[in-house]
Amino acid sequence: MTNKTLEVAETIREQIGHQAFVMMGTKRFMGDEKSLSFKIQGCRKINHIKIELAFDDTYTMTFIKLKKFDFVEVAKFEGVYCDMLNSIIEKETGLYLSL
């Protein structure tokens, strides 16, 4: 993800941190010019997270359960600042993102 159009996705990855992604067993990163989404393991109620940059430099976080062809939005948070990303992920997934 080094393309100029993927700067937002790369910034989100840096703000969450490599160790957090390892702790979630993250796979299948998908990024575009305004969002990052990824698959996680180890949580029964959520298996995908999408983080999208809003117009006011905050994030909208969407927690999703994908099962075959069913798409269920479990939770959505708007107006999230970068220092709140990890704590919201921990709260919603029940997974610890640091040792």
* pLDDT tens by residue, 40-66: 998 999 999 999 999 999 999 999 999
Boundaries of every domain in the chain? 4-91
Q: Are 49 and 77 in contact (CB under 8 A)?
A: no
* pLDDT tens by residue, 3-41: 666 899 999 999 999 999 999 999 899 998 899 999 999
Which residues, 6 or more positions from 96, have their beta carbon under 8 angstroms from its beta carbon?
23, 90
pLDDT (0 to 100) of residue 99 = 76
What is the C-alpha separation between 58 and 81, in angstroms, rounded? 5
